[in-house]
Structure formats: C-alpha cells, structure tokens
Amino acid sequence: MLHNYAKYVDITPKYGWDTPMRYPDSASIASWARQGAMYCQITGIISGRSGGYFDPKGVATRAELATMLLRMNDQMQEELANR
C-alpha cells in the first residue's frame, strides 16, 4: 500500500532496486508483494521485526504503523526537497 502511494505521487527511489532483499524470511513474501517490500527496505520504512524479519503474514501494531507512516513522511519530504 505504501509503495502504491509512493508511485502515485511519483516519489519512488531511482536506485537500489537491484539490491538483494535482506529480510531473513524474504522467501515467504508473496510475489505480488515483493516490489512493495523492496520499496520499504530501500527507503528504510520497514527495518524488520526482531531478527530483521519482515513477517509478511504478521499483523502490524499501531506503534509499528505509526513508525512506518512517520518514516514514509520523512522519506517523502526528503525526496521532494531534492527536486
């Protein structure tokens, strides 16, 4: 969802897409969600849970969601300032 919004407002990173996914459970990320997970890794929006796990079938807490939104806002502000 975050990646789709970033594409909508045209703030996706230009570089880093060829970096291997570093989440230990990256093999369990569905193919349709891999680009979004990579976006979150490149931008630092999701650093992972304990042990760096992405936990694709997990449920985000309110605190985790708030952190992701704040990080995305920071990333958006930085991207827009560099234009």
Q: How far apart are CA 30 and CA 82, in angstroms?
A: 33
Give me the DSSP letters along 31-72.
GGGHHHHHHHHHHTS---SGGG---TTS---HHHHHHHHHHH
User: What pLDDT does residue 59 have?
Assistant: 95
Instruction: Kindly report the pTM of this predicted structure.
Output: 0.83
Q: What band does 1 get if pLDDT is binned at 50, 70 and 90?
A: confident
Q: What is the pLDDT of residues 5-63, one digit of tens each?
A: 888 888 888 888 988 999 999 999 999 999 999 999 999 999 999 999 999 999 999 99
The better pLDDT of the pair 11, 64 is held by 64
